[in-house]
Structure 1
Amino acid sequence: MTMTDNTVDYIAAADNSSEGNGIADEKYFATSDNTEQQEKHNISTNDSILEALNISKRFGDTIALKNVTLRLRRGTVHSLLGENGAGKSTLVKCIMGYYQPDEGQITVAGQEAEISRPQQAALAGIGMVYQHFTVIDNMTVLENIVLARPIIPRWVNWRNEAELITNKLKDLPFSFDLKQKVSSLSAGEKQKLEITKQLLLDTKILILDEPTSVLTPQEADFVLTELKRMANKLGLTVLMITHKFREVMQYSDDVTVLRKGQFVGSCSVTKTTPLLLSEMMMGEKMTVKPLQRKAWPNVSNKSFSVEKLSINNDRGLLAVKNIDLTVLAGEIVGIAGISGNGQSELVSGISGQRAIKSGSLAVDGKPFSPTRKNLQAAKVFCLPEEPLRNACVPNLSVAENMALRNFDLTSMSSGFGILSFSKIIQQAKSLILKFNVKTPSAFEPIGNLSGGNIQRAVLARELSNSVDVLIVANPCFGLDFSSIAYIRQQIMLARNDGAAVLLVSEDLEEVMQMSDRFFVMSNGEFIMESTPENADLVSIGQAMAGHMQRNAPRGEHNYEQAT
């Protein structure tokens, strides 16, 4: 199959020969000097419906935003880019009234707006769909829609509300059974309901935070196509926070880039490329080189396997249901699926962070229990999602975090069981250099690093020794183009060196690019298996949405669409 996003076929590497930051800033975008933004901002101010001007926000000693300007043109889709920690969420929370800017002002339709709480944002015509659902599962669709209003009447005439909303839905792209309980909706349907709630409020400016993370490929394209149509033809203005360059280039009219809490630049998407956008996010020039995949012969040894594995979620409900999986040495097996279908529980279970309800694990055919000691002995390593939360101690230094895997080994002691901090620092300096981790020093608290460099630091720790099994979960979410390319390259190198790699990702393009073969996971089960070469996006989308079912004994891979 052919992928449309030109970011998936290449690895980007930082060009360290360039000097300073802002290499692409002046050439391709407006300057980051806000004293000159009015003249050099590359988006017209003639038809701006919303302007966030010179916004600054501090949390204690931390500067989250510094003189950031954002302009949205009426009737356009505008993407907001920046790696994790760049200030995107802080900026939109200032616009929505969750935070009050320390400096700067927000204007709506040319008038300064005083927005001190979300209700005021709603009354000003600004609505937001958050990354996590805000719908109430045990209420109906109708009840959720009514409760979304900024001002709720004391008494509700539900019959009149149903009639009114039914008529309004005729003009919107998504339809619902108003009597249906939200708990029975799929993740994609819930996301469409979140968008519909805002559209029914006559929202003029719609902010979307990673809107396609819970959608199948077909749902994502449909939703973004409809929003772009409503923007270009009906005057809706959409601000979309995303990390997917394909969505930016295909559906956005304009794009703004933030880096380390500062405005970097804005422009029309017709005047840029994914590579240039990534340079803006990183502040350095990059070159591209092909991603190399080593050919491995079919081998019979099972490097990593699970059998009849079941795992509960935090509520005690079954999230992983009796699955079988084998990953051979020298291959990447991907697991694709919409968020919330058991992937997180699977990764935390097989990496020892969650109890396994039933089933077994094996490494090289031998029974395996994922304790710290056994993980070390079997050379099983893990790069979990959200590594700062799941794989780091934020207030500890980079050096100390890099030593979390081996600090208790004899090689890291100075004798008599006493830690050798000189060895910990020496190890960190070596890994920082080898994996190009950008940090002021090995003593810097790891929580102060950018998202990409936190990911590099954790990857350096996990790959610093010989690896037989590598478990990776959403390794590139929210990262810039360069960091994405580097992380994927390191995963591929581990595979080429003979590691069995399990890649769990909600980014289907990542699964398709990286995997030798992959499964689609839905409702805690593997619904289908394929290779990238034989993949059919329609069938994958149906499987991700739960619209396919098995029609064969376990271990075979014939499927039919559910009726």
Structure 2
Amino acid sequence: MSVIGAAHFPEHRGAPSLELIGFSKRFGALAALDNVSVRVAAGAFHALLGENGAGKSTLVKCAMGYYAADEGQILLNGREVEIAHPRQAHALGLGMVYQHFTLVPNMTVLENFVLSRGKLPAVIDWASERRLLGDYFSTTPFSVPLDTPVADLAAGQKQKAEILRQLYLKRNLLILDEPTSVLTPDEADEVLSTLKKLTRDGELTIVTITHKFREVNAFCDTVTVLRRGQLVDTRPTSELDNDMMAEMMVGRRENRVIVEREARPPGKPVLRLEGLSVADHVGQLAVEDLVLEVRAGEIVGVAGVSGNGQRELVETLAGQRHALAGRMLVHGEPYTATRSEMVRHKIACLPEEPLRNACVADMTVAENMALRSFDQPPASPDGVRLRRLPMRDRARRLIEAYRVKTPGPDAPIRALSGGNVQRAVLARELSSEGDLLIVANPCFGLDFAAAAEIRTRIVQARNRGAAILLVSEDLDEILQLSDRIVVMFDGTFALQTDAAQADVGAIGRAMAGH
């Protein structure tokens, strides 16, 4: 079979089929992919599932030309093609929408779209480009304001812009990486419903990497599951239920622990916020006059779309940002988030992006697990001398208890996967059995099994009497874990409700500012 390059492939029209045959990829001793074959039918809405490290991202990056596979063939519409660089994938009509936004924040939507084209004139006629793009948007199922800087768009608009840019560039096979992680439920359904219609009309083929079974059941035709770099199966969604998909992803685990939330009245207030106001990194007010109380033995969930002040709130509670006004109290005492206060009040924190915000990347797993206690016995008998053997012994116990996948306690923590960094930090923070736990997006981007285990640990802490502030952009997680729910929009609390009486529609509207 002759291999066709992008320059000689017929112009792509309509939804293509894609077949990846015998893909293998190694990174040193690690077999990220082992003879994986997947066929995506033309016009399919195809889900790609698997645990973190199962090979999903490696597979699609090989298909897009970001990685060079050790072995494997790519068939597009039944004809073998060579894709050695993302530009070749783009020329063949393949595009990718990433988990994190890729548009340039300080440029307008118009500038982002026009400058992303492969060929541009020496002098750009912006008036003409604005008119042409406006005409194009009149034919699309949703649009975004052309002259608005991307930084000023709401999260839902940014995601729509990312998708529209791929369509504008005539990509008719889209790979979506967790496309709804920053959207409200209504926005997620709007975007996925629109894409579903395009697949049904034969205009688009979609491969989506997701961990949300609800979206798989509602929108996907076919499911492919990878586990430890190998293909488990590809089956129609209609033949699967959630338990079957979970078992395909993680294997049969009869001893999987599920901890139920104990029915208990909340105890005394542990954390109080009184008129808390915080500025963002450019001095703009990000959190305004927040009033909140978190009691012992309860989980207060803070729901909201990214960018509404949640990050600044957590950073202030963790001591990474100063408040402009108001005050924080823990156990009735003023709290300024110093290390000594956190130790005295037994405060633990799992921030967003823990490798960046809660670890020293080049230090070992054992050293990072000791960051809270390195100057206390047994790691330090006098607060000055450091004993590494007790640090390693403690790290080994935590690695085993929290199932952290690492070569050992002396491995640099930056070498661990994102999910295992989460586990390592959670092990450090929960091992002291603190009175207050502040958690931000604890399962963001994690697979089904890792997310279930981390949520179980959080519920266990709540059941033993800890007060927990859970900040999450995953509404399903908020609804599953919380005793009370507050919705954060534009730096304020737009809604407060008991979880048992929560109205999902009202929460979604509050998240969108309605």
TM-score scaled by structure 1? 0.81
Map residues 99-498 of structure 1 onto 2, 5 A cutoff. Answer: 99-158=67-126, 160-286=128-254, 291-297=259-265, 299=267, 301-413=268-380, 417-439=384-406, 441-498=408-465
Shift of 1:509: 0.7
The answer to whether the Cα contact below 8 Å between 2:16 and 2:204 also exists between their aligned partners in 1 is no
Residues of 2 paired with 1:415 and 1:180: CA distance?
A: 58
Shift of 1:409: 0.2
Show the counterpart of 2:22. Answer: 54
Shift of 1:527: 1.4
Residues of 2 paired with 1:362 and 1:68: CA distance?
A: 54
Pick closer, same or farther for the CA change 1:62–1:320 going to 2, 3 Å.
farther
The secondary structure found in structure 2 opposite 1:305 is strand
Query: 498-507 or 390-399: which moved more?
Result: 390-399
What are the ranges of 5 or more consecutive residues in structure 2 without an aligned counterpart?
A: 1-14
The answer to whether the Cα contact below 8 Å between 2:43 and 2:202 also exists between their aligned partners in 1 is yes
The answer to whether the Cα contact below 8 Å between 1:142 and 1:179 also exists between their aligned partners in 2 is yes
What are the ranges of 5 or more consecutive residues in structure 1 without an aligned counterpart?
A: 1-46, 548-563
The secondary structure found in structure 2 opposite 1:418 is coil
Pick closer, same or farther for the CA change 1:158–1:484 going to 2, 3 Å.
same
Query: 137-146 or 208-217: which moved more?
Result: 137-146
Residues of 1 paired with 2:286 and 2:70: CA distance?
A: 44
Q: Which residue identity does 2:425 align to in structure 1?
A: V
Pick closer, same or farther for the CA change 1:286–1:80 going to 2, 3 Å.
farther
Residues of 1 paired with 2:233 and 2:293: CA distance?
A: 46
Shift of 1:361: 1.5
Describe the superposition over 1:86-127 as per-residue Cα deviations: whole angstroms up to 9, x where unpaired: 443333333223333343233322223233333322220111
Residues of 2 paired with 1:98 and 1:518: CA distance?
A: 41
Residues of 1 paired with 2:86 and 2:428: CA distance?
A: 42
Show the counterpart of 2:3. Answer: none
The secondary structure found in structure 1 opposite 2:120 is coil
Residues of 2 paired with 1:101 and 1:290: CA distance?
A: 39
The secondary structure found in structure 2 opposite 1:530 is strand
Q: In the comparison of the two structures, how many residue pairs are matched?
A: 500
TM-score scaled by structure 2? 0.88
Pick closer, same or farther for the CA change 1:375–1:155 going to 2, 3 Å.
same
Residues of 1 paired with 2:105 and 2:398: CA distance?
A: 47
The answer to whether the Cα contact below 8 Å between 1:48 and 1:110 also exists between their aligned partners in 2 is no
Shift of 1:481: 2.2
Pick closer, same or farther for the CA change 1:438–1:335 going to 2, 3 Å.
same
Residues of 2 paired with 1:395 and 1:284: CA distance?
A: 36
Pick closer, same or farther for the CA change 1:292–1:473 going to 2, 3 Å.
same
The secondary structure found in structure 2 opposite 1:213 is coil
Q: Which residue identity does 1:528 align to in structure 2?
A: L
Residues of 2 paired with 1:168 and 1:417: CA distance?
A: 67
Map residues 544-559 of structure 1 onto 2, 5 A cutoff. Answer: 544-547=511-514
Comparing both chains, which one has the higher relative contact order based on Cα–Cα distances under 8 Å and sequence gaps of 6 or more?
1
Residues of 2 paired with 1:450 and 1:183: CA distance?
A: 29
Query: 173-182 or 195-204: which moved more?
Result: 173-182
Shift of 1:416: 8.2
Residues of 2 paired with 1:539 and 1:150: CA distance?
A: 44
The secondary structure found in structure 2 opposite 1:353 is coil
Residues of 1 paired with 2:140 and 2:350: CA distance?
A: 41
**Match for residue 80 of structure 1 among 24, 42, 48:** 48
Query: 271-280 or 439-448: which moved more?
Result: 439-448
Provide the alpha-carbon RMSD of the alignment: 2.8
